[in-house]
Structure 1
Amino acid sequence: MDNDTGIDDALGLLYLLASPEAEIVGIASSAGNVPAPQVAANNLALLELVGAPELEVAQGALAPLAVPLRTTEDTHGPQGVGYAELPPTTRTVSDRSAAQLWVDLVREHPGEIVGLCTGPLTNLALALRMEPQLPQLLRRLVIMGGAFNHPGNTTPTNEWNVHVDPEAAKEVFDAFSAAPADRRPIVCALDITETIEMKPAHLVRLAERAGSTPIELVSETDPPESRSAASNPLIRFLTDAVRFYFDFHKLYDQGYLAHMHDPFAAAVALDPSLAITKPATVDVELTGTITRATTVADWAGMWGREPNADIVVATDPEQFFERLVDRIGEYARVAFADGEARR
């Protein structure tokens, strides 16, 4: 997983940890929602919170390929996890860079690794420069990013992850033009991920599944200083993190809800049958005065280039949330069955 944790990235990581069919072989930390060192610290602390086995967490590049880094603490909070606080940890960042981690893993396990990118694509682009055969060595790549027949969430036409490092996104899509058809990236763009709406009732369901008390219903009238009193530490973390995300979406007139972009991509990485996809040729605008970082899909072959992506065009959000609640809720229940995280 290559992420920029990030509230919804945290839920994406938790979804993988809670899924018995998933084996996480490495976590690459991308600069995006917050700077790369904070992302790595968040990933390590989240693993500590739930008592996860030791996993390699590598820090990524400090800046995008060609432009200064832009972060979004207004969306995810000053540390990237909303109102939540993560525990101190003695876990440490890998000696390998995130790009080197990508390269080493695909070389060691050719045809086996599923790559999941829920942040800017800087690390993957750097890895491709080191190993141009990476598209052939991966089993599959899943990307959360882009906007096609849908408004952007950063400018009128572009999505945040691509906006942070459009040069990297273009390099990745160009490189995957060489991937076989069954290894084209699956792209979860805003067109679909903004239909994945978490609401306060989903947090209630998570708490109930985990056996956490009291059952709390967060509200837009809750003051910012409010904190969860949930007995389960993971439910407490999720409630405080996601409530910040609710507040952010409400501030921008999107309702008291949160778009769960990244856990949806994680679910698709484990089970592509959750999504209906359509092949297209994707490119990224780099020079437009008002359209820079826009992802453009050629659905009809007008460019005369083979498809380099399978774009998600439909899904069942309720089916996804049933899985998320069942998996993360049960994971929280088991992890803290005796009051503290089990390793």
Structure 2
Amino acid sequence: MTEAEALPVFADVDTGVDDAMALAYLFASDDAHVVGIASTAGNVPVDQVCTNNFGLLELCGRTGIPVSRGADGPLSIPLRTAEDTHGPEGLGYARLPPVDGRLTDYDAAQAWVRAAREHPGKLVGLAVGPLTNLALAMRIEPALPRLLRRLVIMGGAFGYRGNTTPVSEWNVHVDPEAASEVFNVWGAAWGLEKPSHLPIVLGLNLTEHAAMTPSTLGRLAAAAGSSTTPMSVLDDRGTRSAAANPLIRVLEDAMRFYFEFHFDQGEGYLAHLHDPLAAAVALDPDLVRYRQATVDVELTGTLTRGMTVADWSGAWGRYPNAHIGVEVDPEAFFDRFIARVGPFAASLVS
């Protein structure tokens, strides 16, 4: 598939471990043409996100993609970051090549609008961090929902526990006002007029089924033709990857930190690939089964602030504003991830 035939994709990321895996998937996909990357404060502060994005672009040979800096923090509350989950620089134990990257002279919100105007009706938007930049972009261009081909959001939890509070998922918790604004503006923009253009929302109820294990990571290294040492929960903490392939080495060092975090949370020596699943769905929505509903975000509850609430039955009397992911085949996703990222990693050293 030529670049002209590929889907133009704009990725909004707060680059931690699973964001990096999502970007690697997009770079490895012939059916994706990444036209821009917006850096969002979330897993780590926004300047570190920019640094991580430039390092990944250098590592993956994609240095021509514009990177834009987003807001320093959420719309109306202080920023909360997640170095305990993703490591002090956002990528666990991984170290990226130092790059003196040049940011665009416009911010991430403007980057959303520019990309949508340059690819009207064709652009696929992918938002896998807090929705701050997207909310600000929709203030600049209220018609943004109508300019996109589709939008995929990783965020929320529907009929499922939270991973930050008992009821709130991380991305929504960091900036619940932004998430609320995006859902409400999008619903007002489309309503019942064209429900096929409602955003696809993948919550923890779906993404936690995409659990990577050391054996899956070993399959990825094998697909890249890279020698490596299988990971184990018995390894010393912080053991560095022995992979010969530079991309596999970075992903393994990042994932080890993520495995250790999940293990310490009592979830096993594994890691949930929330953002890579969203990237895969952005290119092929048929990977997931959905239900249409109206989504809003609780902003005032003492115990429930940041909770994503889905009105499945129409009790609110409001137009649906989301297609909520409810079912996925994890094996099909991982097969596709490995089939794309493995050979891509091999191509970087050929």
Normalised by the length of structure 2, the TM-score is 0.95
Match for residue 212 of structure 2 among 166, 189, 198: 198
- Shift in Å at residue 53 of structure 1? 4.2
Structure 1 equivalent of residue 232 of structure 2: 219
Deviations 1:218-258 (A, max 9, x none): 11122223111211001110110001000000000000000
Report SS of the residue matched to 1:58: strand
More deviation, 85-94/232-241: 85-94
- Shift in Å at residue 152 of structure 1? 0.2
Structure 2 equivalent of residue 326 of structure 1: 339
- The one-letter amino acid paired with 2:343 is E
Report SS of the residue matched to 2:35: coil
Structure 2 equivalent of residue 70 of structure 1: 80
Match for residue 208 of structure 1 among 200, 213, 222: 222
Q: Percent identity between the aligned chains?
A: 60
- 1:74-223 paired onto structure 2 within 5 Å: 74-177=84-187, 178-179=189-190, 180-213=194-227, 215-223=228-236
- Shift in Å at residue 90 of structure 1? 3.0
- Shift in Å at residue 139 of structure 1? 1.0
Match for residue 16 of structure 1 among 21, 26, 39: 26
- Shift in Å at residue 335 of structure 1? 1.1
Match for residue 294 of structure 2 among 281, 285, 308: 281
Structure 1 equivalent of residue 247 of structure 2: 234
- Shift in Å at residue 108 of structure 1? 2.0
* Structure 2 CA distance for aligned equivalents of residues 91 and 165 of structure 1: 27
Deviations 1:121-170 (A, max 9, x none): 00000001111111111111100000011000000000000000000000
Structure 2 equivalent of residue 301 of structure 1: 314
Structure 2 equivalent of residue 256 of structure 1: 269
- The one-letter amino acid paired with 2:206 is I
- Shift in Å at residue 276 of structure 1? 0.3
* Structure 2 CA distance for aligned equivalents of residues 70 and 53 of structure 1: 29
* Structure 1 CA distance for aligned equivalents of residues 79 and 98 of structure 2: 26
- Shift in Å at residue 96 of structure 1? 1.3
- The one-letter amino acid paired with 1:47 is L
Structure 2 equivalent of residue 56 of structure 1: 66
- The one-letter amino acid paired with 2:326 is V
- The one-letter amino acid paired with 2:258 is Y
Gaps of 5+ in 1: 338-343
* Structure 2 CA distance for aligned equivalents of residues 264 and 318 of structure 1: 11
* Structure 2 CA distance for aligned equivalents of residues 330 and 175 of structure 1: 40
Deviations 1:73-120 (A, max 9, x none): 000000000011011113222111000000111122211111000000
- The one-letter amino acid paired with 2:199 is P
- The one-letter amino acid paired with 1:254 is E
Structure 2 equivalent of residue 341 of structure 1: none
Report SS of the residue matched to 2:310: strand
Structure 1 equivalent of residue 52 of structure 2: 42
* Structure 1 CA distance for aligned equivalents of residues 123 and 286 of structure 2: 18
Gaps of 5+ in 2: 1-10
* Structure 2 CA distance for aligned equivalents of residues 232 and 183 of structure 1: 40
More deviation, 162-171/180-189: 180-189
- The one-letter amino acid paired with 1:300 is S
Moved runs in structure 1, 4+ residues, more than 6 A? Answer: none
* Structure 2 CA distance for aligned equivalents of residues 30 and 90 of structure 1: 19
Contact 2:27 2:60 in 1 (8 A): no
Report SS of the residue matched to 1:23: strand
Report SS of the residue matched to 2:153: strand
- The one-letter amino acid paired with 2:299 is L
* Structure 2 CA distance for aligned equivalents of residues 44 and 104 of structure 1: 20
Cα RMSD after superposing both structures: 0.8
Structure 2 equivalent of residue 340 of structure 1: none
- The one-letter amino acid paired with 2:133 is N
Normalised by the length of structure 1, the TM-score is 0.97
Report SS of the residue matched to 2:294: strand
- 1:266-277 paired onto structure 2 within 5 Å: 266-277=279-290
More deviation, 9-18/178-187: 178-187
